[in-house]
Amino acid sequence: MPLPVIDTRPLFRPLCRDILAVVGSLTPADWMRPTLAGAWRVRDVVAHMIDTALRRLSFDRDGALPTASGPPPADRDLAAFINDINAVWVRAADRFSPRVLTDLYAHASAGLADFIETLNLHDAAVFPVSWAGESASARWLDVGREFTEVWHHGAQIRDAVGAGPFPNAGWLHAVLQIAMHALPYAYRDVPPRPGLSVVVDVTGAAGGTWTVWHDADRGWDVEEGRRPLPSMSATLPDDVAWRLLFNALSIADARSLVRVDGDATLALPLLQARSVIV
């Protein structure tokens, strides 16, 4: 069946509260621990989450769109643009104390949840979900993208301080449902042939099964469930799946953690798929 509309609006508040509880329990040493987010320490990830929440409220709730002298950047230019504005904020936030960062996240995340809960899922999003290959997106997918951002940064913090996985596996399942929209775009350069399909089977409490397949009229598409006789199937645990899709796992490491059956040449687009702008 086609991928369903996923309503992540009611999940923001409990997720943000869980992250805030972890952040509020950190020791001074915890704040300085390295994370899966490249060179960012825990304090940098928290600062980034404050930034993205305040940016969302500014441009989406308040209509204060970023000033631009031309059309929005595309592809790698967009990634460079996003990385630059992220780095500017993180550098500025380095002067803030852990208590100030915690208080700011409490305020920003509560405001984000308040706003998200007011949105109509079927309106048009202000910005498209570029990693899904879309030039225009429905609000529900854009909100889902925001939820995956909050979740995976919270997971990076938990990983860094040894807090274990989030207690609600349903949150990760929702993250994976949204993230699977990246797969048709990831397979866009694979030449089609009759009956071509790839099954992605994610195991664990947050898991599920999805099929990427080629339609003569629509091109590459993704749906829930398993199509019979796939050209290739990939099996991976839910903890590996989010790390792969959110750029926390190298292709080399992923090859050893993802079981591939069938045409192994079809595995590379999956291993390269990302549900973030990179």
Helix axes 169-179, 238-245, angle to 10 degrees: 50
Q: How many CB atoms lie within 10 A of CB 197?
A: 19
Beta bridge partners of 260: 234
Q: Tokens standing for 171?
A: 């949150």
Q: How many CB atoms lie within 10 A of CB 239?
A: 18
90-124 per-position pLDDT tens digit: 999 999 999 999 999 999 999 999 999 999 999 99
Query: Which one, of 165, 180, 95, 173, lies nearest residue 131 by Cα?
Result: 180
Q: Does the pTM of the predicted model rise above 0.85?
A: yes
**What integer pLDDT is reported at residue 69 of this predicted model?**
45
CA dist 188 and 220 (Å) reads 7
130-164 per-position pLDDT tens digit: 999 999 999 999 999 999 999 999 999 999 999 99
Query: Which one, of 50, 151, 53, lies nearest residue 94 by Cα?
Result: 50
Write down all domains in the chain, each with its CATH number in brackets: 9-167 (1.20.120.450), 182-272 (3.30.1050.10)
| 95-131: burial string, b at 16+ Cβ within 10 Å, e else | ebebeebbebbbebbbebbebbeebebeeebeebbbb
Torsion (CA) 126, 128, 129, 135 in degrees, nearest 10: 170
